[in-house]
Chains A and B, each alone.
Chain A
């Protein structure tokens, strides 16, 4: 198998255990964005766009965002920080719902940096994305393969 091409934005030697990166990944989430995500992803569960269905039939206070939208937004923090195509693994748990009007801040913390192998190190990141109340909506982890300083 050919080498996995990447476009890193940072080197593993520019990171240290405990280092954090934080980014506001969405401000005042709109229903429009949720609908746009439904179209792009193909997930048309009405609970994400039909207010009557979400409130009257399902018993929620309003429509809410797809978990995968929050995962995608969290991923934006990772790729803006580390680079394109560098992720080897990215997993999340959806711990709380995300509502229209929410502002989300994603934070990654370096938890380990592996030994260099073929010039690259596996950097493990712990993830948490919180809403404007400080409540975690997504927790998870990611592994990126990064070369030395670029």
Chain B
């Protein structure tokens, strides 16, 4: 599990994330407008913390991206071992990409996430359990908890994620 990496929050990333959600809320990009609200400036949208994956050295779903490079000591990608691996954002990471699903996600905010913050992201494993599912065969669940702290060490967001490794494609109607 990755821990203690830096996640610099900036207005462009916040804007791009909001754009992908089809947002038009100016609080996610317009400095002038946001400055006049009680928030006093742009803030990140509620699920933006997940975008810390861009900065996680061990995140398993980066496509061709090599930035940031994994740490020297990092093990080979979990794909090779066929093991579900928790990602920086707390999402179920690599493993067998075709059999990994996101089961649950929760965010708890302690203060707004703002551009300019340089957060320290650290993760730990939570519970793990197995279930026989009607639609996905044998399903292995694993929980991970990710904390985002600001420069003063204060908690900004806590994220809890449950990843699922299924034994087959989940059946649909």
- A: which residues have CB within 8 A of B? 1-2, 4-7, 25-26, 33, 36-37, 39-47, 53-54, 57-61, 66-69, 71-73, 75-76, 78-80, 84-85, 87-94, 96-97, 135
Contacts and interface: CB of A to CB of B under 8 A. Distances in A.
A71 B97 contact: no
A67 B51 contact: no
B98 A42 contact: no
B71 interface: no
Interface residues of B, number: 52
B131 interface: no
Contacts of A92: 104-106
A1 B54 contact: no
A135 B173 CA distance: 10
A40 B16 contact: yes
Nearest to A1: B154
Given A5-B39, A53-B98, A84-B39, A42 B54 contact: yes
A97 B170 CA distance: 9
B22 interface: yes
User: What are the nearest 6 A-B pairs in CB distance?
Assistant: A91-B106, A58-B98, A44-B63, A59-B169, A42-B53, A67-B102
B32 to A, nearest CB: 15
A57 B46 CA distance: 33
Contacts of B16: 39-40
Secondary structure type dominating chain A contacts: mixed
26 contacts: A1-B110, A4-B111, A7-B27, A7-B38, A36-B19, A40-B17, A43-B50, A43-B53, A47-B98, A53-B98, A54-B98, A58-B98, A59-B168, A67-B102, A67-B105, A71-B105, A79-B45, A84-B43, A85-B43, A87-B46, A90-B107, A91-B160, A93-B103, A93-B104, A97-B170, A135-B173
B20 interface: yes
A76 B46 CA distance: 9
Contacts of B109: 4, 85, 87-89
Contacts of B97: 45-47, 53, 58
A4 B112 contact: yes
A45 B46 contact: no
A76 B100 contact: no
A75 B18 CA distance: 11
Interface in B70-101: 89, 91, 97-101
Contact of B47 (A5, A68, A84, A94): A68
A33 B108 CA distance: 26
Contact of A75 (B47, B65, B160): B47
A5 B38 contact: yes
